[in-house]
Structure 1
Amino acid sequence: MYDDLVDADLPIARKSVVPGAGFFRPDSVSEEATDQRVRAALDGAEAAVIADPDADGLACVALIREFYDDVRVVPEPDGDGEDDETDGSEPKGDDAEPEPTPHRVALVPASPHDVEDALARVAAYAPKGIDLYVCDLAPDRFEYVEDELADAMAVAGSVSWYDHHQWNDGVPEAVRTAGAELAIGDSEEECSADVVARSLEYDFDPVHEELAAVTRDHDLWLREDPRSDDLADYAYWSDPADYVEVVRAHGADLPEWVEAYLAERRVEKTQLIDLAVSRAEYREIGGYTVGVTYGRCSQNEVAEAMREDGADASVIVKPAGSASIRGTDAFERCHEVAGRVNGGGHPKAAGCKPDIYDDALDYATHWTSRGAVTKQVILDAFRAVVADEGEAEGSDAEA
């Protein structure tokens, strides 16, 4: 495929309806690059952190590196500000060059859908006796990670798992029975960084306590601290290794050069948000107004715009096939909706990727129809959850 078919110079209207260039990279190429990067990162490491490379997961890594006194020079801007955007459909860092001097605490980025792959790489490449942490990730079923977790535990000296998502029944008990220390925070009160901060026996600096608090503001969608949007955007656009070291050194108050970088990137971000909002449609489902749209965009701002237009819940379908589901005080069952379509999350914020893409033609239809099938599948999940809610209320009334 020619680079200019998927590069950053596409007109904004076209760019908003197709995935980033990383989506079109074959899995075999990405997996080989990831193997090389993880192998290099784990070489001689004292600890490893498997983490979701969003602001919350990476804040966990920053806290754990602080705990191990694993300090490095804070990165400076490289001058071009370009990235290989993946639309959030795959872990970031697949093509990143290994750090010249590996950290004692290695970062192993992983998405919620490939935790088992990250565990397998730790089992294959980590030194015997390494301390292993898994942060901001929740397996939908224990059998998805059962074998890989056992292999990783055979290598690791200890395994600690810190999270705050809604876990399905039986999964926490199975993880603990397997031998991992598991701490799960209240998904309405804590982010994963909070769980790490209170679980480690360490007196964190107020800068790092504040970092956890501001990260929580975004991750729980409280939106009370404007700095939380800066953290979320920088985590999304930067290399994960750079983000970890910047917030470890500066906390939630990002340096001026990062602020300048964010301001530059937000010009296009605003354009993509506006396009997604302009495509929004609204459906009435069992007394709830559900907004639904499509596009490569920042889902939180788009969901907020739909909320202001009267939506009790919002669905933002992405070109890569995944979708974000956002709720309000009126609708707090997003994780249940996502759970019906190959996903999960929190009562007011969840994500999913329906298992409906069998070949390239399905994706082509997805792009040209602006996610029509995915929208319908998720709206059907809303209908099922709302119907269950009605039945439960009816049973309570009869009782």
Structure 2
Amino acid sequence: MALPGGDGTKPYDRIVAMVESRKLPVVHLTHNDLDAVGADAIHRMKFGDITTIFCSVGKFPAILDAVSRVSGKGDTLSISDIGFRKDLKNTLLRARENGWKIEWRDHHRWNEDEIRMAESLCDIVHVDTKTCACGICAQDLMPGDPVATEVAGVVCDYDLWRHEDPRSAVLGEVLQRKKNREYVRDCLEKGIFSDAYIEKECAEIRDDMEEVMRKSIRKARISDNKYRIAFAPLYRYPSETAARIRKELGTDIEVLVSPNGRFSLRSEPPISHILAREFNGGGHPNAAGGSFSFSVWDRLLFRFLGRSSHFDRFVAVAETT
């Protein structure tokens, strides 16, 4: 579903209304990429036409807060493909007090303190960094089901950068357009991985992808010290753009920065998650995300000159990692 805003409603009013009017006893709160879409397909194989909320990592705390204020009535709030944060403790406590059963399945890096805290607040916590969130959901909700197993295999191939199954790249690229989330999800629920619509969308996206990747590469700035790091503007397609930059510019780390300071990070050395945690983010050893606290001046400097003092701090952190 599209997040509210710009139409006079209070933040997340639509989400609250949707959760309040749920028809089935499961609400699935998840990320917004192929892994999340696959995880939702698995949920729907198990539970049917549940209430689903796709969200960014940045908006997750506020959306979880909104859902926690709705009466759970003993229903399940299933969270997937989003990492734990200790500052969510009070929100999760409120959700439990309001009658929600909380299940959390994720494959990002959690430390032991985070796992212990989550286990004290949730009914189920399943963290496994060896697979994707869709894979965890398939194991827990549809064990042994051949369709769920195949869906998880295709999704993990893309999300874990294996790139052994050509179907995964097509689906990952098609989901660069958020309008396709529900369509792809419904296909995966039926065990369908391609059709005429998916092929058409993929062809259009690949044409656009080539253009914007070239633009990012032209504007990339390189820091060449312990690691060769590229800082470049992010237009769309973070994974594909990072891979192209690495191939053409021989980088070790790629930092793709949005105008508001949020960034997508990829690295050859397995340190992305460590670096991202220093910048209000997190993720995987080779792929993560975070945020630079851009002021108005920072935004202007980055937009017109491609520079930022935050890049110097990032390099300094990388040098000591």
User: What is the TM-score when the length of structure 1 is the normalising length?
Assistant: 0.73
User: What is the TM-score when the length of structure 2 is the normalising length?
Assistant: 0.89
In 2, the alpha carbon distance for the partners of 1:30 and 1:168 equals: 40
Which residue does 1:226 correspond to in 2?
A: 166
Which residue does 1:381 correspond to in 2?
A: 317
CA separation of 1:376 and 1:227: change in aligned 2, threshold 3 A? farther
Extract unaligned runs of 5+ from structure 1. Answer: 1-21, 71-102, 386-399
Check conservation: 2:255, 2:263, Cα contact below 8 A: yes
1:150 to 88, 93, 99: 93
Match of 1:260, SS state, is helix
Measure how far apart 1:237 and its partner are: 0.5
Which residue does 1:339 correspond to in 2?
A: 277
In 2, the alpha carbon distance for the partners of 1:28 and 1:145 equals: 27
Which residue does 2:201 correspond to in 1?
A: 261
CA separation of 1:339 and 1:271: change in aligned 2, threshold 3 A? same
Check conservation: 1:289, 1:313, Cα contact below 8 A: yes
Check conservation: 2:154, 2:167, Cα contact below 8 A: yes
2:305 to 369, 379, 390: 369
In 2, the alpha carbon distance for the partners of 1:121 and 1:241 equals: 22
Which residue does 1:34 correspond to in 2?
A: 12
Match of 1:111, SS state, is coil
Which residue does 1:160 correspond to in 2?
A: 103
Measure how far apart 1:196 and its partner are: 1.1
CA separation of 1:30 and 1:361: change in aligned 2, threshold 3 A? farther
Check conservation: 1:162, 1:183, Cα contact below 8 A: yes
In 1, the alpha carbon distance for the partners of 2:307 and 2:66 equals: 34
Match of 2:222, SS state, is strand
CA separation of 1:371 and 1:205: change in aligned 2, threshold 3 A? farther
CA separation of 1:314 and 1:362: change in aligned 2, threshold 3 A? closer
Q: Match of 2:126, as an amino acid?
A: A
Give CA deviations for 1:185-234 in whole Å, capped at 9, x if unaligned.
Answer: 12xx211111111122x345423212211211221122222222222222
In 1, the alpha carbon distance for the partners of 2:73 and 2:28 equals: 15
CA separation of 1:52 and 1:26: change in aligned 2, threshold 3 A? closer
CA separation of 1:259 and 1:377: change in aligned 2, threshold 3 A? farther
Extract unaligned runs of 5+ from structure 2. Answer: none
In 1, the alpha carbon distance for the partners of 2:176 and 2:155 equals: 13
1:46 to 6, 25, 44: 25
Count of residue correspondences: 317
In 2, the alpha carbon distance for the partners of 1:131 and 1:317 equals: 36
Check conservation: 1:116, 1:149, Cα contact below 8 A: no
Q: Match of 2:194, as an amino acid?
A: L
Check conservation: 1:289, 1:311, Cα contact below 8 A: yes
Check conservation: 1:247, 1:254, Cα contact below 8 A: no
Q: Match of 2:261, as an amino acid?
A: G
In 2, the alpha carbon distance for the partners of 1:371 and 1:63 equals: 43
In 2, the alpha carbon distance for the partners of 1:339 and 1:117 equals: 19
CA separation of 1:119 and 1:335: change in aligned 2, threshold 3 A? same
| C-alpha RMSD over aligned residues | 2.5
In 2, the alpha carbon distance for the partners of 1:230 and 1:126 equals: 40
Task: Determine whether 1:349 maps to 2:287.
Answer: yes
In 1, the alpha carbon distance for the partners of 2:7 and 2:314 equals: 31
Which residue does 1:396 correspond to in 2?
A: none
**Residues 228-243 of structure 1: pairs in structure 2 closer than 5 A:** 228-239=168-179, 240-243=181-184
In 2, the alpha carbon distance for the partners of 1:364 and 1:324 equals: 20
Q: Match of 2:93, as an amino acid?
A: A
Q: Match of 2:14, as an amino acid?
A: Q
Check conservation: 1:43, 1:125, Cα contact below 8 A: no
CA separation of 1:373 and 1:211: change in aligned 2, threshold 3 A? farther
Which residue does 1:321 correspond to in 2?
A: 261
* Greater gyration radius: 1
Match of 1:236, SS state, is coil
Check conservation: 2:72, 2:100, Cα contact below 8 A: no
Which residue does 1:284 correspond to in 2?
A: 224
Measure how far apart 1:165 and its partner are: 0.4
Give CA deviations for 1:101-124 in whole Å, capped at 9, x if unaligned.
Answer: xx3x11122222333222222223
CA separation of 1:116 and 1:361: change in aligned 2, threshold 3 A? same
In 2, the alpha carbon distance for the partners of 1:303 and 1:197 equals: 29
Match of 1:290, SS state, is strand
Check conservation: 2:219, 2:306, Cα contact below 8 A: no
CA separation of 1:54 and 1:371: change in aligned 2, threshold 3 A? farther
Match of 1:297, SS state, is coil
Structure 1 runs, 4 residues or longer, greater than 6 Å off: 25-28
Q: Percent identity?
A: 22
Which residue does 2:81 correspond to in 1?
A: 136
Which residue does 1:107 correspond to in 2?
A: 52
In 2, the alpha carbon distance for the partners of 1:41 and 1:123 equals: 10
Check conservation: 2:31, 2:56, Cα contact below 8 A: yes
Which residue does 1:5 correspond to in 2?
A: none
Match of 1:332, SS state, is coil
1:116 to 34, 41, 61: 61
Q: Match of 2:218, as an amino acid?
A: S
